[in-house]
Homo-oligomer: A and B are copies of this chain.
Amino acid sequence: MTTRAVLFDVDGTLVDSNYRHVHAWSQAFALVGRPVDAWRIHAAIGMDSGLLLNELLGEEAAELGPRAQELHGRFYAEASRDLRPLNGARELVKEVARRGHAVVLATSAPEDELATLRDALQVDEFVSLSTSSEDVGTAKPEPDIVRVALTRAGVDACEAVFIGDSRWDVEAAARAGVKCVALRSGGTGALELFNAGAFFVWDDPADLLAHYSETLE
């Protein structure tokens, strides 16, 4: 099979934003009176935000979730003014486009967050299409966002590779039948990513770029 499209998660995969999400959720949960240990927040990052709230707030998700989500949005917006691409992210996107593969940003971030992420990345001219939270009911680990991305790109699952940084990415890709390459740049360890089912694990976009042929062709 030949790769025709490369589907990218964005948070933690192309942009150095995961730890800012952890920080923003941490502040939000403390303010609603239900503090959550930071490592548990980190482990839930990349998951659909409704699922994240259920996971971290349990029975109190219905009562406290909406306010926590609103506070997270506000704190994250404050913290995301100086977001930076991860090491090699721009170069990797450009190389995918140069090789003639479609670059698909397959994220379920809300539209306003996606705009901020794209501003940080500055690779719009190389991006074929992108998805957002508007496109699916439930985000990762459900495979819906991956399927939407495949349909829009007009490629079969076996013609695509998904690049992500969390076990939720790996699971969503697997459930959509797409091979997942994982990066450590979101803060999840390599062994955890292999264990979740990643085909390859590299440090960050620059490391993947250095192993392009064996990974993405």
| Interface of A toward B, CB cutoff 8 Å | 12, 16, 18-20, 22-23, 26, 30, 35, 37-39, 42, 82, 84, 86-87, 184-192, 195, 204
Given contacts A19-B39, A39-B187, 13 further A-B contacts (CB under 8 A): A16-B37, A18-B39, A19-B23, A19-B26, A23-B23, A30-B82, A38-B187, A39-B186, A42-B187, A189-B189, A189-B191, A191-B191, A191-B192
A23 surroundings in chain B (CB, below 8 A)? 19, 23
CA distance A69 to B186 in the complex (A): 24
- 19 A-B pairs (CB sep. < 8 Å): A12-B39, A16-B38, A16-B39, A18-B39, A19-B22, A19-B38, A19-B39, A19-B42, A30-B82, A35-B84, A37-B86, A37-B185, A39-B186, A39-B204, A42-B187, A187-B187, A189-B192, A190-B192, A192-B192
Q: How far is the CB of A169 from chain B (nearest CB, A)?
A: 15
Q: How far is the CB of A20 from chain B (nearest CB, A)?
A: 8
Known contacts A192-B189, A192-B191; is A204 also within 8 Å of B18 by CB? no
Kindly report which residue of chain B lies nearest to residue A192, judged by CB atoms.
B189
A26 surroundings in chain B (CB, below 8 A)? 19
Q: How far is the CB of A143 from chain B (nearest CB, A)?
A: 23
> Among the interface residues A16, A23, A187, which one has the most CB atoms of the partner chain B within 10 A?
A187
Kindly report which residue of chain B lies nearest to residue A41, judged by CB atoms.
B19
Q: How far is the CB of A133 from chain B (nearest CB, A)?
A: 23
CA distance A195 to B189 in the complex (A): 11
Kindly report which residue of chain B lies nearest to residue A39, judged by CB atoms.
B187
A22 surroundings in chain B (CB, below 8 A)? 19
Could you tell me if B195 and A191 are in contact, using CB atoms closer than 8 angstroms? yes
